[in-house]
Amino acid sequence: MTQQREAKRLSPGGHAANEQAWDRQALGRWGEDRVARWYRRQGFRVLDRNWRSGRGELDVIVQQGSLVVVCEVKTRTSLAYGRPAEAVGYQKQQRIRRLAAQWLSEHERSGAVQLRFDVAEVLGRKIRVIESAF
């Protein structure tokens, strides 16, 4: 392979890099689909998925009675970089809290709601939901 072709293949704008980004997006979407189904099986209603604002994104928002759950989904193919939930550090938690407040203000709920923050790990076919993770 020539150096030029090799550089293009490895560069951020190269085809291989775009495929990797798409693969990560597809993997993330697959994990979010699985987690949304998990919540439905637990009796929750999915209110929103991949809600975006200029400040970020909320993966899955569900409700059961007066309980509204904002779930951050982390999907991985291996434990090579640690447990998926470990990627949800303090800064990410704070961003999710701010986004949840914004989501709630834009989506009027009748009556008072309890708010809970979960983190879901999807590792292969296994799902682990950490309730009240933060």
Question: In one letter, which amino acid is 98?
Answer: R
Give the phi and the psi of residue 115 in degrees, each rounded to 5.
Answer: -120, 130
- Region 105-120: what's the mean pLDDT? 90
42 or 17, which is more confident: 42
pTM of the model: 0.81
- Region 7-11: what's the mean pLDDT? 38
Residue % of the chain over a pLDDT of 70:
84
| pLDDT value for 2 | 38
Name the residue range of residue 112's domain.
3-130
Q: How many domains does the chain have?
A: 1
Residue 4 has pLDDT above 80, yes or no: no
* Contacts of 44 by beta carbon, 8 Å cutoff, 6+ apart: 62, 63, 64, 69
